[in-house]
Structure 1
């Protein structure tokens, strides 16, 4: 992975590094129960929760195990969500994708646009061969979002994660580089 944090631009968005100054924006959407319902975290209650999340983003970047972009609209600097890769396994050319978006921006194609940008970056710049996602079965909107990008549901991982006091089942989704290139032609 690179040393300089990559900035990605799309028609409507700029995906950039998240800074401590973004803590209030992050607090706003990650304190929303609907936004974090399938995030594996309790809703944030304090600005320190947001600062801890930002510190984690920096940690995975420094350790080269992940990269998390803040989603902003062009011409605006407010972070309205985030997306990126985690659990990068460079030796296997593989990573997991994750994302969330402020509820006020749902249904506008913003998540689709951001995810397409990071998929392109992952396959073309980071040379991934496989990008995978873990989605809770009740999270139908996220499943549809990934399926629209060409992801395939591979199966159910039973009691795969323990979060918020529960054992969660997760669907494993994946997209291979050759599938992404084929879909974008």
Structure 2
């Protein structure tokens, strides 16, 4: 992700595709100076659109630590739905962290097409 005005690095976004299941995991990070400015939402909408329209995926999901409210707000704002919490799902810096999962299907995407 780069800023249009000066092409400075803002962050990174990717789809980890499982071709045999026609699904992908959306993952991203955004540099702290760029938090809360809508960059992640804009990029996530575009990559989700690419996933459904070009890659012809059936499902896209994402996860974030429950304490990372900004990250799962991005997921919600692009039309993903809360699918639940996996308790102590990852070990980060010697602490077990809970993850919240969000997802959407191609049908969900089609229903939200006006917001893309």
**Superposed pair shares fold, TM > 0.5:** yes
Q: Give how far 1:75 is off.
A: 4.6
1:79 and 2:18 are equivalent in the alignment? no
Distance of 2:94 and 2:15 partners within structure 1: 25
TM-superposed deviation, 1:100: 1.4
SS of corresponding position for 1:135: strand
* C-alpha distance in 2 between matches for 1:96 and 1:164: 23
- Give, in whole Å, the separation in 2 of the partners of 1:111 and 1:130: 19
What runs of 5+ residues in structure 1 fail to find an aligned partner?
1-70
Bigger relative CO (Cα 8 Å, ≥ 6 apart):
2
Q: Aligned ranges for residues 16-165 of structure 1 at < 5 Å?
A: 71-86=1-16, 88-165=17-94
Name the SS for the 2:89 alignment partner: strand
CA distance in 2 between counterparts of 1:172 and 1:106 reads 20
Retained in 1: the 8 A contact 2:63–2:72? no
Q: Report the Cα offset of residue 78 of structure 1.
A: 2.3
Q: Which structure features the higher share of strand residues?
A: 2
* TM-score normalized with structure 2 length: 0.89
1:119: how far off? 0.5
CA RMSD of aligned residues (A): 1.4
- Structure 2 gap ranges (5+): none
User: Secondary structure of 1:76's match?
Assistant: coil
Indicate the SS of the match to 2:2: strand
Deviation at 1:77, TM superposition (A): 2.9
Deviation readout 1:91-142 (Å, 9 max, x if unpaired): 1011111111122222221111111110001111111111111111111111
Matched residues in 2 for 1:104 and 1:75: separation?
16
Q: Is 1:170 aligned to 2:99, yes or no?
A: yes
